[in-house]
Amino acid sequence: MNQQFLTELKAVTAENRIFTDEPMKKHTTFRVGGPADILVQPKGTELAAVIRLCRKYDVPYQVIGNGSNLLVGDRGIRGLVIEMLSKEDEICVEDDCITVGAGMLLSKTANRAAEHGLTGMEFAAGIPGRIGGAVVMNAGAYGGEMKDILTAVTVLDQEGNEKILSAEELELGYRTSCILKKGYIVTGAKIKLKHGEETAIRARMEELKKQRVEKQPLEYPSAGSTFKRPEGYFAGKLIMDAGLRGYLVGEAQVSEKHCGFVINRGNATAADVRTLMQNVADIVEEKFGVRLEPEVKMIGEF
């Protein structure tokens, strides 16, 4: 890594938020992944400065949130990883609208909505991601999606300039948006909800929590639903019907509790997980003629 780049990075971001040779398994819910050359946690306007610095020195960068939908290669990530974090004061509630920073956890945002008697975000309370990633992937669960509640999103373009995009401009679809295609970084979002009763909202959140605990392998590291839902099918049922419940590659396994999840039984490598995913997709396609597409994003060097 260019030493001058590192020197200038320390000038725009506090040194205690810059980490070299940082193991990415500490920053993903799969708990796998090799080291990033540099990981930085910029605050506020520091982000734009970091982006401009990367462009100046031609340093490649990746942006992550909670790492809940990522598989990082065992050889790690060359260049810079930008980890988006937000403080509690980056949630602002006004009437039925919430303005929130991209690094805020969905669970905390949903809980803040409940505190103010705002309904419509209960579906997100158990999703282990942050606002930015949820916008990029149009995260959803139990019949709700981010596109149902988003009104506007603030982003930085590849030059580090700020833009405000309406929900319509985001091209939100099933686990997709225009943000990756255009190379934008989400910095914040505006969410519009409806007034409701906190007791009823909390009850719904508790109901969904119970469903998750009963049906999902939350006791193991994973990246949630591993494959996208094929049109007209359910990925988990296809995998189960293919006889792959409990299928193992190394320490990676198709969950016996929910076949739509690939779990890390303890010491899985990224190679284990990727091989398992490829094998599962191949077997399902051979048996049923349906190709499963990964919902998990793979980054870094395998």
Instruction: List the chain pLDDT tens, one digit each, 302 residues.
Output: 789 999 999 999 999 999 999 999 999 999 999 999 999 999 988 999 999 999 999 999 999 999 999 999 999 999 999 999 988 789 999 999 999 999 999 999 999 999 999 999 999 999 999 999 999 999 999 999 999 999 999 999 988 899 999 999 999 998 899 998 898 999 999 999 999 999 999 999 999 999 999 999 999 999 999 999 999 999 999 999 999 999 999 999 999 999 999 999 999 999 999 999 999 999 999 999 999 999 999 999 99
Mark whether 177 is an active-site residue: no
Q: What angle do CA 157, 161, 166 make, to 5 degrees?
A: 65
Mark whether 295 is an active-site residue: yes
- Considering the candidates 68, 222, 225, 255, report the single residue annotated as catalytic: 225
Domains in the chain with CATH codes: 3-83 (3.30.43.10), 88-200 (3.30.465.10), 217-299 (3.90.78.10)
pTM of the full structure: 0.92
- Considering the candidates 31, 112, 130, 175, report the single residue annotated as catalytic: 175
Mark whether 225 is an active-site residue: yes
